Amino acid sequence: MRSKTERITQGATWRTYALARAGLALLTGVLLVSGCASTASKMASPYEIALTADKDVNPDAHGRPSPVQITVYEMKTSRTFEESDFFTLHGDARQTLGEELIQAEQVILRPGESHTLRREGDVNARVVGIVAAFRDLERSQWRLVAPLPVPQNTNIYKIWQFSPNPETIHIGVGRQDIRVTDRERSWWPF
C-alpha cells in the first residue's frame, strides 16, 4: 500500500503531465489556425526617391542657377504619362493620367539641394514618373520614367513574414535634365 505522501506526489505529477499535454494541444491548435490565416500573395516594396539638384540647375536668362519644381508620380503604367506634354501633366495630372495615377507629390529643389521622398509602395505601382519644371522646356529633358521595385511574393504564413527592404532610386537633377544616377537596396534582411 502506498503512503499518503506517495499518492500526493503521484497526483501532482499526473496533473502536471495533463496540464503540459493540454498546453501542447492548445499551442498546436493556435499554430494550425494561424497557418490558415495566410497573407496576400504580394506585398508592396517600399522605396525612396533621393533627389539631388546640381549647383547649376535650371539657369535663368542670365545663366544664374534657379530653384526647380519636381513632381513625382507613382503610377500603374507610364503610357499616358509618356504621351502627355508638360503643360497637360502640370495642369491636371489626376484627370490626364486617370486610373494610371496612384499618387503625386511636388518638391522644390534649390541649386545644390537634396530631398528624399519615402514611400510604402503600392502593389499596383509599376513605375514612377518624374517631371522637372525647367525654365527652358524646349531644350531640356524634363520627363523621366523609372521602374519601381517589383512587389514581393509573400511567405505562406504570417508568423514568418518579413517586410521587403526599401530600394533607393537616386535621381540627379542637372542643368537641363533629370536622370537616374543609381539604385540601391539594403542587403540587411530585416
pLDDT tens-digit readout, 140-167: 999 999 999 887 776 655 555 566 678 8
pLDDT at residue 184, rounded to an integer: 83
Any idea which residue has 496533473 for its cell? 15
Contacts of 95 (CB under 8 A, 6+ apart): none
User: How far is 82 from 24, CA to CA, in rounded Å?
Assistant: 60
For residues 74 and 125, give the distance between their C-alpha atoms in angstroms, rounded to a whole number: 6
Model-level pTM? 0.73
pLDDT confidence band for 128 (50 / 70 / 90):
very high
- pLDDT the model gives residue 66: 96
Q: Are 143 and 157 in contact (CB under 8 A)?
A: no
Instruction: Note whether 157 and 32 are within 8 A (CB).
Output: no
The pLDDT tens digits for 44-102 are 888 999 999 999 999 999 999 999 999 999 999 999 999 999 999 988 889 999 999 99
Cα separation values, 76 from 14, 96, 100, Å: 63, 14, 5
pLDDT at residue 3, rounded to an integer: 60
Q: Which amino acid is at 166?
A: P
The per-residue pLDDT of the chain, averaged, comes to 83
SS3 track for 118-183: EECCCCCCCEEEEEECCCCHHHCECEEEEECCCCEECCCCHHHCCCCCCEEEEEEECCCEEEEEEE
Q: Which residues of 19-32 are buried (b: 16+ CB within 10 A; e: fewer)?
A: eeeeeeeeeeeeee
